[in-house]
Chain A
Amino acid sequence: MLYNEPSPLETRILSRRFGLPNSAALDTYLATDGYQAFRKAVGMKPEDIVNEVKISNLRGRGGAGFPTGMKWSFVPRTSPKPKYIVVNADESEPGTCKDRLLIEYDPHQLIEGCLIAGLAVDAHKGWIYIRGEYRYLIEIMDKAIGEAYQKGWLGKNIQGTGVDFDLYTHTGAGAYECGEESALLESLEGKRGVPRIRPPFPAVVGAFQCPTILNNVESICAVPPIILNGGQAFADLGVPKAGGTKLTCLTGHVNKPGVYELRLGFPVMQMINEVGGGMRNGKKLKAFIPGGSSCPLLTAAECEGATMDYDSMAARKSMLGSGGVVVMDEDTCMVKAALRIMRFYAHESCGWCIPCREGTTWLRKVLIRFHEGGGTREDIDLLGDVAKNMLGRTFCPLGDAAALPTISIVEKFREEFEDHLNGRPCPFEHAREAVLV
């Protein structure tokens, strides 16, 4: 059973097996072109595999949007050290719940992606780092891996091709920070999830001090269709500098929240109104987060003409991010939203870098004061000030992830902070209580 009805406006490439009977089984996978891309890749030169991924214009789907083919090309293929593949399934950016479905419905697509990545950089071992809360996915993935070993799609001399590859799952234990690539590697090695200084990047010094391809689940799952149908076909689905589709998690105040696979460049308003079935209770749109709570928010006016791709969001000083779309209606208190977002970052800051550890804690305190009606006019500027002083001063992007949405909310919804000044209770909370009674 699917979690939500598919939309006719979807372009289902990575999600095309979702909803098939026994979609996670090897037989289903093989009956629907499964492992054909691996067979094709075995006959290709490694540099041609990397090149095909470059042609596809695939950009990292975890949130940063770095070109995947270029990341692969940084791995020193001829290094005498072993090379590794690590898949980031630590999905924990608030608003994001797509990798969950890719593993639940199509684990073999992920295995095949790992095999092809292995061929590209001469890696023979890989780990799928799955967040601890997703225990049922670890069981699904372990079962698929077991089936692949049994039928000769993993292990030694895969299908007589001479290729060896071992793949394992690895559970996290509850830490947003471990979704950051270098902290994930620390965690994989059995340590606290604190970030590493870069360079060297994981492509050169990654897991266990060896060259490593580290990609998000969705990025790796895009590889089999790219190899099978050609990079150009994938590129053509998107916009000029970003190819393919994006699994988009519609959340918040829409009538039909759900995960939908949409072409990059899909218009924001059409996504809300047609894919998402419009605003809940016929309310007006107030604010929009394009891809997880780390992204600066857009106002309703900024959503007009915006499209779901990297450049359109960059032009609006935001980011496409992870695909975790959050839609907020006119009754949403932006001070409360800012506070909830900051409580999250303050809880998840690993404490390694002081600007992030102290900054998130102070921002949380000031926002609590505001929401309780104790804010002062100076506090509005203080919020922006503290947040701006965190930018670019940390080892990993968590500090920026906490600061950016705060800066955008304070700038774009300043009047709501003014409405909370000098002991006035939250006007939205008041309206909400009245409705609930």
Chain B
Amino acid sequence: MTFSAELETRFEKLLKSYPAGRERAAMIPMLMYAQDEIGSITDELVEEVARRVGVTSLQVHEVVSYYSMLHRKPMGKYHVQICTNISCLLWDADKLWEQATKKLGIGHKEVTADGQISLEEVECVGACSWAPAIQVNYDFHHFVTPEKLDQLLDSLGKKQ
């Protein structure tokens, strides 16, 4: 499997970041950074990472199935993650979630037909004092209102 030169450099650095013989430690960071580049955790990627860190594919699979940010299927180009945990809920995040699902016509971990946007109802993302909060890919949006959400979804739908 081939990756960008930038990612290869990152992998090289990662494999040297842990004690000798403990290369397995690089597995989760490698999966995360690779997923950003190729879009999801494919079987091919699992085998590649397993080979590079010196474990079996099964050992990578069992790790992948544990972590909620590692996706076996590609999410949308813009993955909209709406937090509805307690601090966001107190600022009506559940209403934002309903609004987004209705507007896009998709549910939890579903992708729009054009592949542009996906939705996920997520657990606390660590933006509790600036609730309600949404993450689009890795970008935070704080103090989200129904109007702001509407505009955000419109702009993501058209964004290249």
Residues of A within 8 A of B (CB): 3-4, 82, 91-97, 99-100, 125, 127, 131-136, 168, 170-176, 187-193, 208, 249-253, 257-259, 289, 293, 324, 326-328, 332, 336-337, 340-341, 344, 347-348, 350, 436
Contacts and interface: CB of A to CB of B under 8 A. Distances in A.
Interface stretch (B1-9, B25-33, B109-117, B152-160): B25-33
10 shortest A-B CB distances, which residue pairs? A174-B69, A173-B67, A174-B68, A251-B87, A190-B27, A190-B24, A135-B138, A192-B66, A94-B124, A251-B128
A175 B67 contact: yes
B90 A94 contact: no
Interface in B28-61: 28-29, 31-33, 53, 55
A133 B138 contact: yes
A96 B126 contact: yes
Contact of A173 (B25, B69, B126, B142): B69
A208 B69 contact: no
A91 B126 CA distance: 7
Contacts of B27: 190
A133 B125 contact: yes
Contacts of A253: 90
Nearest to B33: A171
Nearest to B26: A190
Interface string B63-87: 1001111100000000000001111
Nearest to A189: B25
A258 B129 contact: yes
B101 interface: no
Given A190-B24, A326-B86, A3 B66 contact: no
Contacts of A337: 86, 89
Contacts of B22: 189, 208
Given A3-B142, A189-B25, A328 B90 contact: yes
Interface of B: 17-19, 22, 24-29, 31-33, 53, 55, 62-63, 66-70, 84-87, 89-91, 95, 123-131, 135, 138-140, 142
Nearest to A341: B86
A94 B127 CA distance: 9
A240 B114 CA distance: 61
Given A94-B87, A125-B19, A257-B128, 20 more contacts: A94-B123, A94-B124, A95-B128, A97-B130, A133-B135, A136-B140, A168-B17, A173-B31, A174-B67, A189-B24, A190-B26, A257-B130, A258-B129, A293-B85, A324-B128, A327-B90, A328-B90, A336-B89, A340-B84, A340-B85
Given A168-B17, A190-B27, A259 B129 contact: yes
Contacts of A134: 126
A349 B32 CA distance: 22
A233 to B, nearest CB: 28
Given A208-B22, A251-B129, A93 B86 contact: no
A15 B137 CA distance: 28
Given A82-B19, A93-B124, A131-B126, A174 B70 contact: yes
B126 A133 contact: yes
10 contacts: A94-B124, A95-B87, A100-B126, A170-B17, A174-B68, A175-B67, A189-B22, A293-B85, A324-B128, A348-B123
B124 A92 contact: yes
Contacts of B66: 175, 192-193, 350
A367 to B, nearest CB: 13
Which of B19, B22, B90, B142 is the most central at the interface, judged by chain A CB atoms within 10 Å of its CB?
Answer: B90
A348 B19 CA distance: 30
A291 to B, nearest CB: 12
Contact of A252 (B24, B31, B90, B123): B90
A168 B17 CA distance: 7
A94 B86 contact: yes
Contacts of A344: 85-86, 123-124
A306 B105 CA distance: 47
Nearest to B28: A173
Which of A3, A94, A136 is the most central at the interface, judged by chain B CB atoms within 10 Å of its CB?
Answer: A94
Which of B27, B69, B70, B139 is the most central at the interface, judged by chain A CB atoms within 10 Å of its CB?
Answer: B69
Which of B22, B29, B131, B135 is the most central at the interface, judged by chain A CB atoms within 10 Å of its CB?
Answer: B29
B123 A176 contact: yes
A250 B129 contact: yes
A213 B153 CA distance: 44
